[in-house]
Structure 1
Amino acid sequence: MISPIRSADRSSPVLDKNRPVPFFTQAASFTECWPDIQRHVNAVFDRGKFSHGRQVAQLEKELAAYTGARHVLAVNSGTDALVLLLRACGIEPGDEVIVPAFSFVASASSVALARATPVFADIDPVSYSLDPASVEAAVTPRTRAVMPVHLFWQLADMAALGEVARRHGLMVVEDSAEAIGMRWDGRHAGLLGRGGVLSFFPTKTLGALGDAGAVLTDDPEVAERVTTLRHHGRMGRTVDHIAGISNLSGASGTNSKADDLQAAVLLGKLPRLDAAIARRAELAAAYTERLRDVPGVTRLPTVVPREAATNPVYYVYLVEVERRDALVEHLTRQGIGTEVYYPTPLHLQPCFAHLGHRPGDFPHAEAACARTVALPFHPDLALADVDRVCEAVSDFYRGGAPS
């Protein structure tokens, strides 16, 4: 029998200045949901099918119920979900897809892997999502799609971006990898354009114990193409059908079948997702209350009003600060984990050097890369840990940090 991971008590009310605060752990929450996970894992071993089996099918069904998507297609990572979605939407060589210059590399590399060209645009400096005016300026005759990325805690401005897309006859394809639980007038992220994705990387709001992802879409044609592409182009057991599907002639499928063991973990955690989202909101409020008046902390997470009713879902707690790198070093010495999202803007990454960008092309994205840092943030975090992190940040900027 597999035994669950054990962990320290996450509800500890005592402020211990020597207690390490990791950037992420799911040990305590994993222990809590272990009986449900174990039940699903045992079902995988009992049936002996470890890839694309019944647990995957059940996960797709339950995610469809949670998100309201007509079709959920589980795959082996959020990155593959983006690549397959773009290909299923008919993106081809020579096409351009507009993406933000501030995001994880997969937002742009997925376009390249779909054999198209990523075209960068700047971000809104408060929400960190695509700036519609910058998108408008980036449109060319070769542009086929706009890919907003819903970063950190809030949906991109889908009304304004949708209007730009309509004016130019473009598709909207959402990188909603971080956005599970986010909704726009009741519609889940990823269902506001042609389709979207989810990532279940362990640190995500709903995280597996390894890589996993999914495509969300209401479009049956896109769903059929993703279903075929993710399994070597097969619609049956042995015959490749991919060349017979419109807009995919000459393309080949790939092996991106979902893992039933990861599906088992996600099925065990999914019933607790809303509680985890609520806990993240509590932790975000606690951080904001404690950091609001700390000198050197120049921007806290801000929910930007949208045209429609939206709900924030905090994936990370990201702040802008002065002397970011020195603060990170100070917190590291204190045993406090951090993460920089993202140290280099995409247009200045070596893999995109052939696109010819220079520093200064997208100033808001470059500023975010230089100033932002994510603090420890996950449902296992105790309020005493929040106190410890905030005290260490305050000490650094108020001159009380140890030398």
Structure 2
Amino acid sequence: MDDVFDSGKFSHGKQVGQLETELAHYTGARHVIGVNSGTDALVLLLRACGLRPGDGVLVPAYSFFATASAVVLAGGRPQFVDIDPGTYAMDPEALDAAVTPRSRFVMPVHLFHTMADMAALDAVARRHGLTVVEDSAEAIGMRRRGVHAGLHGRGGVLSFFPSKTLGAIGDAGAVLTDDPEIADTVAALRHHGRGGRTLNDFPAISTESALPGANSKMDDIQAAVLLAKLPLLEEHIARRAELAAAYTARLRDLPGILRLPRAVAQTPDDRDVHYVYLIETEHRDALVDHLEGQGIGTEVYYPLPLPHQPVFGHLGHRPGDFPHAEAAARRAVALPFHPDLPPGDLDRVCDTIGSFLATTRTTA
């Protein structure tokens, strides 16, 4: 960080370039383009892949709001798809049924601890002629068949929001792609249409493309923090796996627990990464209140399915249209989970949940 201040180059500078290089090495991507947030990464990726105004983009009904808002900000129209209740990711059969003549893109999301079934989703996409891009904002370190999340379609993204597996001290993000044309377009779009890092590198986008750029550059302070933390990433991922296993061992036989994270990775070339530890219970809201009363924080992911957000009311979706997404929104809660979580704290969380569920069962 001192180097950044000494250089006087506070965004889109040397530290950002070095981070892009190291992330490309870590993920195996041919191109990594640092931007100012995971949300802008999605917007710029969709635009660089040729999204036209009004194009339909199929997205899961259960995800963070940015999944759908990025589609709108890029000029598209979100088309919602129900999820697989085991992975919380887009269900391939539901995707097949949701395709319309308007559909041009499909954007699976890798949530919480595992990737979407990209092989099955890609098969549906090929059958319908859809372009695949990935909302892999939470998925650093996740792989299927040796391929990092975000590299199974035209491109993907990473978010470095402070709570992420690799987090900055503010907003930051990146686009991953193996396509040099997409990489060049995203690199220009993030910097007012310039191809390089100075005022002299303008314009980089031809007038025929009609793609005005934006100010979506990554700050070098964030890049410096991420460069310092990147060598610790594998250690932190391993610790997260230990904590997830400890939670599962303590919680799996408790009455009232409807679902715990399940392993999806099947081969040495596959890897799940626990970003959060999510459980489901019909007593979710009461459990959240009880834990809060005991000084234990939680996070509800996500309290309202995307199709039922007021801003998408004009699309006409009704309760019951996305049953798996609606069940998750009603029942899911994330427990305290980070690499520095002491074992004693984990035990206290589990003991408190156990006593609450036992009392709830008795009174019921």
Q: TM-score range by the shorter chain?
A: over 0.9
Q: Specify which of 154, 174, 177 is matched with residue 194 of structure 1.
A: 154
In the alignment, which of 18, 22, 30 is matched to residue 62 of structure 1? 22
Structure 1 unaligned runs (5+)? 1-40
Correspondence 1:371 to 2:325: no
Give the structure 2 partner of residue 254 of structure 1. 214
Equivalent in 78, 89, 102 of residue 129 of structure 1: 89
Q: What residue identity is the alignment partner of 1:375?
A: L
User: 2:207 maps to what in 1?
Assistant: 244
1:154-193 alignment runs, 5 A limit: 154-193=114-153
Q: Is the 8 A contact 2:184 2:195 kept in 1?
A: no
CA distance in 2, matches of 1:46, 1:326: 52
Question: 1:272 is matched with which residue?
Answer: 232
Aligned to 1:332: 292
In structure 2, give the amino acid aligned to 1:286. Answer: A
Residues 95-151 of structure 1: per-residue CA shift (max 9 Å, x gap): 101000000011111000010100000000111000001111111122111100000
Shift, 1:42, TM fit: 1.5
* Residue aligning to 2:272: 312
What is the identity, as a one-letter code, of the residue corresponding to 1:63?
Answer: L
**Partner SS, residue 178 of structure 1:** coil
1:102·1:365 contact (CA, 8 Å) conserved in 2?
yes
- Equivalent residues in 2 for 1:218-237, closer than 5 Å: 218-235=178-195, 237=199
Match of 1:395? 355
| TM-score normalised by L of structure 1 | 0.87
In the alignment, what sits opposite 1:24?
Answer: none
Any idea what the Cα deviations from partners look like across 1:192-237, whole Å, max 9, x if unmatched?
A: 0000000000000000000000000000010010011000112252
Counterpart contact for 2:58–2:80, Cα < 8 Å: yes
CA distance in 1, matches of 2:12, 2:54: 33
Look up the SS of the partner of 1:193 in the other structure: coil
Aligned counterpart, 2:52? 92
Question: CA distance change for structure 1 residues 160 and 306 in 2, over 3 Å: closer, same or farther?
Answer: farther
How far does residue 250 in structure 1 lie from its aligned partner after superposition? 2.5
Q: Distance in 2 between matches of 1:339 and 1:305?
A: 25
Q: How far apart in 1 are the matches of 2:78 and 2:203? A: 29
Aligned to 1:385: 345
- Give 1:296 deviation, angstroms: 1.1
Distance 1:371 1:202 in 2: 25
* 1:128-187 C-alpha deviation (Å, 9 max, x unpaired): 000001111111122111100000010100000000011111111000000000011111
Q: CA deviation at 1:293?
A: 1.1
State whether structure 2 residue 168 is matched by structure 1 residue 208: yes
Structure 1 residue 241: Cα displacement: 4.0
Take 2:276 and 2:24, find their aligned partners in 1: how far apart are those partners? 24
Instruction: Name the CA distance, whole Å, in 2 between partners of 1:305 and 1:50.
Output: 40
Whole-angstrom distance in 2 between the partners of 1:219 and 1:306? 28
Unaligned runs of 5+ in 2: none
Deviation at 1:242, TM superposition (A): 3.1
RMSD of Structure 2 on Structure 1 (CA): 1.6
Q: Quote the offset at 1:308 in angstroms.
A: 9.5
Q: What does 1:99-118 correspond to in 2, within 5 Å?
A: 99-118=59-78
Query: 2:249 and 2:269 mapped to 1: Cα distance?
Result: 24
1: CA distance, partners of 2:282 / 2:221: 43
**CA apart distance, 1:307:** 9.3
Check the 8 A contact 1:184/1:308 in 2, yes or no.
no
Greater relative CO, 1 or 2 (CA 8 Å, sep 6+): 1
- Does the CA-based 8 Å contact 1:208-1:266 persist in structure 2? yes
Q: In the alignment, residue 292 of structure 1 is paired with which amino acid?
A: R
Structure-2 residue corresponding to 1:15: none
Post-superposition offset of 1:46: 1.8
Opposite residue 61 of structure 2, the aligned amino acid is: A
Aligned to 2:303: 343
Tell me the distance in 1 between the aligned counterparts of 2:54 and 2:251. Answer: 47
Q: Is the 8 A contact 2:265 2:272 kept in 1?
A: no
Q: Structure 1 residues 110 and 271 mapped into 2: Cα distance closer, same or farther (>3 Å)?
A: same
> What do the CA deviations read for 1:10-65 (whole angstroms, capped 9, x no partner)?
xxxxxxxxxxxxxxxxxxxxxxxxxxxxxxx1111121110111000000000000
Distance (Å, rounded) in 2 between the aligned partners of 1:63 and 1:244: 31
Secondary structure of residue in 2 paired with 1:381: coil
